[in-house]
Amino acid sequence: MIVKPRVVEAMNAQIQSEFSASQQYIAIAVYFDAESLPDLAAFFYRQAEEERMHAMKFVHFLLDTGAKPLIPVTPELKNEFGGAAEAVEFALNQELKVTDQINNLVKIAREDNDYASLNFLQWFVDEQVEEVDTMTTLLATIKHAGGMLLLVEDFVRRNLANPHGEADAEAE
Ligand code: FEO
């Protein structure tokens, strides 16, 4: 098998994390939707789709390399938030945790001389830099806005509506 057993195991754990992240972002989007903040809601619905895409990248990589992906149940998620800052801070912490997990996957792949996985994982290393940066910026914006969430809505609409740019959207 191309992918080493320890890497397969860690990638299957990652599939669960990515699907959980996707569902968690839906829960955050629903919170903002219920608060009548449609741009923040739309941002998190889009993030949910991205996380689902991340999970599916691992699923297809394992299938393509002859390994067996396991489709998991997602653990209990957080559905109650005390405010916008709390919700986005929760999202940021989730991204930081996923970053640690991706780094750990890279470490295992390197230890086991699994070069196909190392190559595949590089995309996720770059993606996490971008996602942590986006969530950090959003949290800072909420704090700067000091409770005036319509300013945050405007910021999201103008800056985070198409985080990958037009070119990427066309390429997909
Ligand atoms: Fe797929 Fe943002 O972690």
Domain positions in the chain: 5-161
What pLDDT, in 10s, does the model give residues 40-83? 999 999 999 999 999 999 999 999 999 999 999 999 999 999 99
Mean pLDDT of the chain: 94
| For ligand 1, atom 1: residue with the closest CA | 51
Has domain 5-161 been given CATH number 1.20.1260.10? Answer: yes
Specify the pLDDT at position 1.
83
> Is 3 a pocket residue for ligand 1 (Cβ < 6 Å)?
no
User: pLDDT tens digits, residue range 130-172?
Assistant: 999 999 999 999 999 999 999 999 999 999 987 555 444 444 4
Task: Report how far residue 140's alpha carbon sits from residue 3's, in angstroms, rounded to the nearest whole number.
Answer: 40
Specify the residue with its C-alpha closest to ligand 1, atom 2: 95
pLDDT band of residue 101 (cuts 50, 70, 90) is very high
The encoded tokens of residue 111 equal 């230890």
CB 139 within 8 A of CB 160: no
Q: Please tell me the distance between residue 160's alpha carbon and the centre of ligand 1 in angstroms.
A: 16
What's the pLDDT score for residue 72? 95
Q: What is the pLDDT of residue 60?
A: 98
Q: 153 in ligand 1 pocket by Cβ < 6 Å?
A: no
Contact partners, residue 140, CB within 8 Å, separation at least 6: none
**Pocket of ligand 1 contains residue 21 by CB under 6 Å:** yes
So what's the pLDDT on residue 170?
Answer: 44
